[in-house]
Amino acid sequence: MDGLLLDNISIRKFVYPDSVAKGSYACCLIFGSSHHQQLLASKAARLYHKGICNKFIVSGYASQASDIRSMMIELGVSGDVIALEPLASNTLENVIFSKQFILNCLRPAEQRMIIVCKNYAARRCLLSVQKHIAVKDIAVESIDIHNIDKNNIFLCKLFVEKMLSEVEKIILYSQRGDICEYPAQGKTDIKLIYATLLKNNTGNKSAC
């Protein structure tokens, strides 16, 4: 496979997993962060106001979860529908510590959940949930950091560097069994994703 690279569509699919489809979802897991909290809260609030989801759990260490919850309430989300998980200090703990809440929300006829997270971490967040929670349908709503979207992934050098770091984490964490391999349905050569990102990390790009 030396010299092979993936096309841009394959890279976009890796960076941006499936987003919300029609219908309602049983619950939403918001991955807390010390940065971009307003964007996370706004993304979740839109899901609430559109009637897509009305049960949320915000997971994050220290005040991360409570800060995002407060911002959601300021945006008109009822505090009664937002649970807090204030102990998780990493992505794996976000999932494990929120698992029981999510399972309690799921019903045989509603095996659908949403995760809200930062765009560069979206694939790793999804693989973490897929590893530890049995749910039929997981949609991903990511916030756009560094003014990046599906059409300009390679324009920001910092974003590509973050994605290279994410791929390294996915390889390591899947090897030790913390997350699913990519894709979740079976083994693939994620090294091609890394090679393609690395190739596109050269040249004149915005530092963002």
pTM: 0.92
Helices of type H across 24-77: 37-49, 64-74
Which CATH number is 8-199 given?
3.40.50.620
Per-residue pLDDT at 1 exceeds 50:
no
Q: What sign does the CA torsion over 34, 157, 18, 131 have?
A: negative
Res 184: pLDDT: 56
Strand partners, 159: none
pLDDT of residue 5 exceeding 90:
no
Which residues lie closer than 8 Å to 123 by C-beta, 6 or more apart?
14, 15, 17, 166, 170, 182
pLDDT digits (tens, 9 = 90+) for 56-100: 999 999 899 999 999 999 999 999 999 999 999 999 999 999 999
Q: Is the pLDDT of residue 10 over 60?
A: yes
105 has a pLDDT exceeding 80: yes
Domain spans, the chain: 8-199
